[in-house]
Amino acid sequence: MPSPQKHVVIIGGGFGGIAAARALKRAPVRLTIVDRRNHHLFQPLLYQVATAALNPSDIASPIRRIVRRQRNAYVILGEATSIDTRRKIVRLADNESEVAYDYLIVATGATHSYFGHDEWIEPAPGLKTLEDAVEIRRRVLVAYEAAEREVDASEVANWMTFVIIGAGPTGVEMAGALAEISRRVLERDFRKIDPGRARIILIEAGPRVLPAMSPESSASARRQLERLGVEVITNSPVTAIDDRGVTHGGA
């Protein structure tokens, strides 16, 4: 009698989870992918959704479609809330259901850190999910609309000042994309304001942008950002944020 197939449960249908599922395509196992969202998200292009260059559906694909042809794979929409390694079960949030496993792969990704300042979440949302991207896009477009209706010149300038904190890849991409849409796309859409005059400020605590890359790449990225009109400030940790502005570098 053939032995029953082992059950592999993968929590997370991101790059890691999908790669694991594909690697097990021909393995003699049953696979269950559990994700709290029904889509796999191509996070590298989130900044393009946040700056209105792409639509959410351009960077999200249903997990079911990705594994449609993989006969040993089954998909459950649900949020894993706990793992009982003794009983070998994963508990899901919705109706307290449980998924039993023989082998478990946890590929739930990472989230950003506010370094002990969780009160910054509201004024300065991160960029990890489609919801984050759509919210940032909403705030950017609403700011331009508010500037167009404003009569006080200093308030117009305030509405058209965007601060990006952190010059890692996401911050650098966001700053560059925001400068590009302001100078090249939105410029033609407004009558009273000139989006091309928007201030886009990128603030980094460390000495250079893209600190994980070579000094040459950092210098090149900085030059390209400045050519797009981005104000790049380095060696200047942000110490406070509220809905009117940020305090940085002890200033």
Ligand X SMILES: Cc1cc2nc3c(=O)[nH]c(=O)nc-3n(C[C@H](O)[C@H](O)[C@H](O)COP(=O)(O)OP(=O)(O)OC[C@H]3O[C@@H](n4cnc5c(N)ncnc54)[C@H](O)[C@@H]3O)c2cc1C
* Contact residues: ligand X, CB under 6 A: 11-17, 34-37, 43-44, 46-47, 79-80, 107-109, 127-128, 169-170
Fill in the amino acid letter for 219. A
CA 149 to chain centre: 30
The residue whose Cβ lies closest to ligand X is 14
Smallest CA-to-CA distance from 171 within 116, 139, 215, 208 is with 208
CA angle 248, 144, 47 (to 5 degrees): 65
160 vs 57, 155, 251, CA distance in Å?
A: 28, 9, 22
Nearest to 171 by CA among 129, 196, 200: 200
CA 226 to chain centre: 24
Tokens describing residue 23: 């690697």
Is 173 catalytic? The answer is yes
User: Which residue, 80 or 160, is less far from ligand X as judged by CB?
Assistant: 80
Q: What's the alpha-carbon Rg for the chain, to the nearest Å?
A: 22
Shortest Å, Cβ 175 to ligand X? 13
The least distance separating ligand X from the CB of residue 42, rounded to whole angstroms, comes to 8
User: What is the Cβ-side half-sphere exposure of residue 235, based on CA atoms within 13 angstroms?
Assistant: 1
Q: Of 13 and 166, which has the nearer Cβ to ligand X?
A: 13
User: Which residue's CB is nearer to ligand X, number 76 or number 147?
Assistant: 76
Decide whether 112 or 197 has the Cβ nearer to ligand X: 112
Q: Could you tell me the smallest distance in angstroms from the CB atom of residue 249 to ligand X?
A: 25
- The answer to whether residues 25 and 69 touch, using CB atoms and an 8 Å cutoff, is no
CA 139 – CA 185 distance, rounded (Å):
17
The nearest distance, CB 146 to ligand X, in angstroms, is 26
d(CA 112, CA 93): 23
Rounded to a whole number of angstroms, the minimum distance from the CB of residue 135 to ligand X is 14
Which is catalytic among the residues 173, 204, 216, 226? Answer: 173
Of 132 and 187, CB closest to ligand X: 132
Catalytic site positions: 173
